[in-house]
A and B are shown apart, each in its own frame.
Chain A
Amino acid sequence: PHTEMADREERRFAEISRESVKFMAESTGVELGDDVAGLLAEDVCYRLREATQSSSQFMRHAKRRKLTVEDFNRALHWSNVEAICGYGAQDTLPFRSAKEGELFFIEDRDINLVELALATNIPKGCAETMVRVNVSYMDGKGNLEPQGTVPSAVQSLSDDLLKYYQQITRAILGEDPHLMKVALLDLQSNAKIAALLPYFVYVISGVKSVSHDLEQLNRLLHMVKSLVQNPYLYLGSYIRSLVSSVMYCILEPLAASINPLNDHWTLRDYAALLLSHIFWTHGDLVSGLYHQILVSLQKVLSDPVRPLCSHYGAVVGLHALGWKAVERVLFPHLPAYWANLQAVLDDYSVSNAQVKADGHKVYGAILVAVERLLKMKALSLSQQSDGGSSGQTGFAGGSICYRVSSPGLSPPPEPLSEATLGIASHLQAGGAGCPLEEWTPVPLPAMYCELYSFFGDSLAVRFSTGPGDARKEPPGPTSNPDTTRKMPQLTANLNISPRHDGSPRTDPTPPSLAATGSGRSLTRSCSSSSSVQRSRSSSRSGQRSAGLSRDVFPKARFTSSQTGPPAFSFLIGGRQMGLRCQGRRPFQTNFAPTPPLSAVPPRAYAHKLPVIGRVGKPVRRWACSHYSLHLPL
Chain B
Amino acid sequence: FRAVPDDGGLVDADEDKDIKTEASNDSWGNNNANDGRLLSPSPGSSASAGSNKSAAGASEEQQTLLAVLQFLRKNKLTESVEILRREAGLPEDSLEPKGADSLLSRVTASSTAGAQAPTKVAAGEDQPDVNVVLSAYSQQGDPALYEVYYSGLKRFIESVLDCHRAELSQVFYPLFVHMYLELVYNNHESEAKAFFEKFSGDQECYYEDDLRVLSSLTKKEHMRGNETLLDFRTSKFVLRISRDSYQLLKRHLQERQNNQIWNIIQEHLYIDIFDGMPRSKSQIDAMSGSLAGEAKREANKAKVYYGLLKEPEIELPLDDEDEEAENEEGKPKKKKPKKDSLGSKSKKQDPNAPSQNRIPLPELKDSDKLDKIMYMKEATKRIRLGPDNLPSICFYSFLNAYQGLTAVDFTDDSSLIAGGFADSTVRVWSVTPKKLRKVKSAADLNLIDKESDDVLERIMDEKTASESKILCGHSGPVYGISFSPDRNYLLSSSEDGTVRLWSLQTFTCLVGYKGHNYPVWDTQFSPHGYYFVSGGHDRVARLWATDHYQPLRMFSGHLADVTCTRFHPNSNYVATGSSDRTIRLWDVLNGNCVRIFTGHKGPIHALAFSPNGKFLASGATDGRVLLWDIGHGLMVGELKGHTDTIYSLRFSRDGEILASGSMDNTVRLWDATKAFDDLETDDFTAATGHIHLQDNSQELLLGTYMTKSTPVIHLHFTRRNLLLAAGAYNP
Residues of A within 8 A of B (CB): 11, 13, 42-43, 45-46, 49-50, 53, 57-58, 60-65, 70, 74, 78, 126-141, 147-151, 156, 194-195, 198, 236-238
Contact = CB atoms under 8 A, between A and B. Distances in A.
B429 A57 contact: no
Contacts of B711: 63
Given A137-B392, A139-B392, A78 B708 contact: no
B170 interface: no
Nearest to B393: A137
Nearest to A64: B404
Interface string B704-731: 0111110101000000000011100101
A63 B663 contact: yes
A45 B561 CA distance: 24
Chain A contact residues, majority secondary structure:
mixed
B477 A62 contact: yes
Contacts of B396: 131-133
B669 interface: yes
Contacts of A127: 399-400
Given A42-B219, A131-B429, A139-B389, A148 B709 contact: yes
Contacts, number: 148
Interface in B455-469: 468
Contacts of B219: 42-43, 46
A-B residue pairs, 7 tightest by C-beta: A140-B390, A127-B400, A137-B393, A49-B216, A147-B706, A136-B395, A61-B479
Contacts of A150: 708, 731
Nearest to B602: A60
B494 to A, nearest CB: 11
Contacts of B398: 129-131
Interface in B380-407: 389-406
A20 B686 CA distance: 59
B51 to A, nearest CB: 26
Contact of B406 (A50, A53, A61): A61
Interface residues of B, number: 68
Contacts of A238: 731
B201 to A, nearest CB: 13
A237 B729 CA distance: 12
B706 A63 contact: no
A135 B718 CA distance: 14
Given A130-B468, A131-B468, A147-B708, 11 more contacts: A50-B216, A60-B603, A61-B479, A61-B519, A62-B404, A74-B476, A74-B495, A136-B707, A137-B392, A137-B703, A140-B390
30 contacts: A11-B212, A43-B222, A45-B216, A46-B219, A53-B213, A57-B537, A61-B406, A62-B404, A62-B406, A63-B405, A63-B406, A70-B422, A74-B519, A78-B519, A129-B400, A129-B419, A131-B429, A131-B431, A133-B395, A135-B392, A136-B393, A136-B395, A136-B725, A137-B703, A140-B669, A140-B702, A147-B706, A198-B731, A237-B709, A238-B731
A140 B391 contact: yes
B417 A195 contact: no
Nearest to B389: A139
Contacts of A194: 400
B605 A151 contact: no
Nearest to A63: B713
B579 A126 contact: no
A70 B422 CA distance: 10
A195 B390 contact: no
B382 to A, nearest CB: 15
Given A63-B405, A63-B663, A46 B394 contact: no
B495 A149 contact: no
Nearest to A39: B219
B427 interface: yes
Nearest to B725: A136
Contact of A132 (B399, B479, B495, B702): B399
Contacts of A134: 394-395, 397
Nearest to A147: B706
Given A43-B219, A50-B226, A136-B393, A148 B702 contact: no
Contacts of A65: 663
B537 A78 contact: yes
Interface in B633-667: 645, 647, 663
B419 A131 contact: yes
A367 to B, nearest CB: 40
A132 B397 contact: yes
Nearest to B216: A49
A238 B731 CA distance: 7
Contacts of B389: 139-140
B531 interface: no
Contacts of B64: none
Nearest to A140: B390
B682 to A, nearest CB: 28
B221 interface: yes
A62 B477 CA distance: 8
Contacts of B427: 129
A523 B13 CA distance: 92
Contacts of A129: 398-403, 419, 421, 427
A7 to B, nearest CB: 13
Contacts of A147: 706, 708
Contacts of B404: 62, 64
A151 B405 contact: no
A88 to B, nearest CB: 13
